[in-house]
Amino acid sequence: MKVIIVEDEMLLAMELEHEIQAAGHAVVGIAATKEQALELVRAGPPEFAFVDIHLQDGPTGIDLGRQLAKQGIPYVFVSGNIKKLPADFAGAIGAIEKPYTMNGMANAIAYLSDLVGGDDSGLPPASLVLAADALPPPRY
Partner 1 sequence: MASHVREDPFAAAFKATRMPMIVTDPNQQDNPIIFCNEAFERLTGYSNEELVGFNCRLMQGPETDPDTVTSIREAVADGRDVAVDILNYRKDGNTFWNALFISPVRDEDGRIVYFFSSQLDFSNVKGKEAELAAARHKAEEAVAKRTSDLQASLAARSLLVHEVDHRVKNNLLTMASIVKMQARLTQDAGQRQALMSVLNRIEAISTVQRKLFTTDDVARFDIAEFARELATDLVGALRRDDVVLTLDLSPVYVPAVKASPLSLIVNELVGDAVLRGLGECGGEIHIVVKRRNGHFLIRVEDTSQPVEPDETSAEVSRMLLEASARQLEARIERRNEGARTIVEVTLLVEHEKDIPY
Note whether 102 binds partner 1 by CB under 8 A: yes
Which of 66/98 has CB closer to partner 1?
A: 98
Cβ atoms of 52 and 6 within 8 Å: the answer is yes
As a whole number of angstroms, the longest Cα–Cα distance in the chain is 49
Q: What does the alpha-carbon distance between residue 13 and residue 112 come to, in Å, rounded to a whole number? A: 18
How many CB atoms within 10 Å of residue 19?
Answer: 18
Enter the DSSP assignment of 140.
-
Question: Could you tell me which stretch among 7-15, 29-37, 43-51, 69-77 binds partner 1 (CB under 8 A)?
Answer: 7-15
Query: Which part of the chain contacts partner 1 (CB under 8 A), choosing from 29-37, 38-46, 91-99, 113-121?
Result: 91-99
State the residues that interact with partner 1 by CB under 8 A. 9, 11-12, 14-15, 18, 80-81, 97-104, 106-107, 110, 125-127, 139-140
